[in-house]
Amino acid sequence: MANDKQFYSKPFIVFCWLIAAVGGLMFGYDIGISGGVTAMDDFLLKFFPAVYAKKRFAREDNYCKFDDQRVQLFTSSLYLAALVSSFFASKVCTKYGRKQTMLVASGFYLLGVALNAAANNLIMLIVGRILLGFGVGFGNEAVPVFLSEIAPLNYRGAVNILFQLFVTIGILCANLVNFFVSEYHPWGWRLALGLAGVPAFMLFLGSFVIPDTPTSLIERGQLQNGRTILQKIRRTEEIDDEYNQIVHASELAHQVTNPFKKLAQPSSRPPLVIGMLMQVFQQFTGINAIMFYAPVLFQTVGFKNDASLLSSVIIGLVNVFSTLVSIKTVDKFGRRALLLQACCQMFITQTVIGIIMLSDLKTTGSLGHVEAIVVVLLVCLFVMSFAWSWGPLGWLIPSETFPLETRTAGFAFAVSSNMFFTFVIAQAFLSMMCHMRATIFFFFAAWILVMGLFVVFFLPETKNVPIDDMNERVWKQHWFWKKYMDCDHDQNGHKVPNQIHP
């Protein structure tokens, strides 16, 4: 009979979840900080003097005053680096484990933060940003998979959403930091960029303390160690069923020598297409137009600098608290219910914002006081629904639907789809706003309609299904996806039965 001391204490288990989730904090901080920093005059003067001049002296055009590709490149370079690095991260994640991948992520973060905070020229700034991007690529690859694997089945959704919760806390911290440091001249921006070192250091230290997931240990041949850790984190010796399931999944995984080739097979299509589309759609809600450019957006509707930074702080708070709603509900009501409810709320809010801006915000002048407040309220309602649906589920669903043999490779495609479209929105939004003006909000609303239909017809419910049972219990039962499950192709392109999960 095992005594309780052999198991991890409950607080330690929660500590492990939280340490991993700090990877989300880093990601969120990076998302939230750039909009505020690029609005700081000291920063623009030092790195983008031409943009500073344009901002001060250019013709006042509400929709176009911040349209500058170079500033946008500062924001978006991080996502390109993350896109590329997520594929390397997937290899490290399989070969060396989730924990080591998080450690590597924290190393990139620390280097990136140091370069950014000390930057004296544009090169240092962009190289720092790229290193942060590597951190995001490695962190976002490992953390959601770590959380989904380490969580007990009946609250896997809630544990995984800690990642997104920490993303939102990171965004909020960044908004607050921007709000306070903008008064410190001329180095407020250095403080804003440098403070990211705090969570990076926490992740670095934490990565030494937490165990790796039993799945990763078993997959890497450490059967006994994996079994012991499984007992410790489940706090019981009765783990045979789960252990055998993981060993079985890992045996199947070992039959696959090249996970990327396996991903090209028809039987991998359902999780691959869904994982990537969840991320693409997540970005086409328009969320990052708000996260990156909230201060700019609010200046556009007529708020002064301080009021607009404050409104972004309010939005940050709404984002955090609404994510808690999804932690509470995701394993109860299921993934589909949350996504569909949010599509309705997001569609209405984007459309109404578009109508108000179209009818009331001309190229010069500003919205009336009441309209501006209504726009902020609508943005809050929009962010609220994103925060309990597409935000967390964009990460949860891809991390819980791939079988072990393609999990890290498949997840890398999901991460890189996110990064690519985050890059596209970061790079294009200000220009799109300049050209499309208020109709940009209808553009996002149209996408939200498409994603609602996608959920209705193509997204099966995955609540309470063990990760390694998805094929049998989900894909093979689905009216559309089941046709991909029966056969794969051999080297000559001939149809053969799906050999891994017959």
37-to-188, 246, 371, 443, 469 alpha-carbon distances in Å: 9, 46, 27, 27, 46
Interface pick for ligand BGC out of 34, 62, 101, 164 (rule CB under 6 A): 164
In the window 88-117, what residues touch ligand BGC (CB under 6 A)?
Answer: none
3-state secondary structure of 489: strand
Minimum CB distance to ligand BGC, residue 30 (Å): 10
Taking CB under 6 A as the binding criterion, the range among 11-19, 43-51, 150-158, 162-170 that sits at the site for ligand BGC is 162-170
Minimum CB distance to ligand BGC, residue 335 (Å): 14
Return the number of the residue (112 or 286) whose C-beta is nearest ligand BGC: 286
Return the number of the residue (71 or 414) whose C-beta is nearest ligand BGC: 414
Residue by residue, DSSP assigns 370-426 as HHHHHHHHHHHHHHHHHHTTHHHHHHHHHHHHS-GGGHHHHHHHHHHHHHHHHHHHH
Minimum CB distance to ligand BGC, residue 36 (Å): 14
Residues in the chain: 502
Interface pick for ligand BGC out of 160, 422, 462, 471 (rule CB under 6 A): 422
- Measured CA to CA, the distance from residue 311 to residue 121 in angstroms comes to 31
Interface pick for ligand BGC out of 288, 300, 399, 427 (rule CB under 6 A): 288
Residue 31 binds ligand BGC, judged by CB under 6 A: yes
Residue 394 binds ligand BGC, judged by CB under 6 A: yes
Return the number of the residue (281 or 303) whose C-beta is nearest ligand BGC: 281
Among residues 202, 188, 200, the alpha carbon closest in space to that of 132 is found at: 200
In the window 304-323, what residues touch ligand BGC (CB under 6 A)?
Answer: 319
CB atoms within 10 A of CB 90: 28
Residue 171 binds ligand BGC, judged by CB under 6 A: yes
Interface pick for ligand BGC out of 38, 94, 148, 168 (rule CB under 6 A): 168
Return the number of the residue (48 or 423) whose C-beta is nearest ligand BGC: 423
Minimum CB distance to ligand BGC, residue 37 (Å): 16
CB atoms within 10 A of CB 152: 13
- Measured CA to CA, the distance from residue 142 to residue 92 in angstroms comes to 9
Those residues whose C-beta lies under 8 Å from the C-beta of residue 69, and which sit 6 or more positions away, are 427, 431
Taking CB under 6 A as the binding criterion, the range among 116-124, 214-222, 284-292, 397-405 that sits at the site for ligand BGC is 284-292
Contact at 8 Å (CB) between 144 and 162?
Answer: no
- Measured CA to CA, the distance from residue 61 to residue 466 in angstroms comes to 54
Interface pick for ligand BGC out of 21, 291, 309, 313 (rule CB under 6 A): 291
Return the number of the residue (231 or 311) whose C-beta is nearest ligand BGC: 311
- Measured CA to CA, the distance from residue 105 to residue 340 in angstroms comes to 34
Q: In the numeric block, which tokens belong to residue 225?
A: 């160690």
Minimum CB distance to ligand BGC, residue 419 (Å): 9
Residue by residue, DSSP assigns 148-170 as HHHS-GGGHHHHHHHHHHHHHHH
Binding stretches for ligand BGC (CB under 6 A): 31, 164, 167-168, 171, 282, 287-288, 291, 319, 391, 394, 418, 422
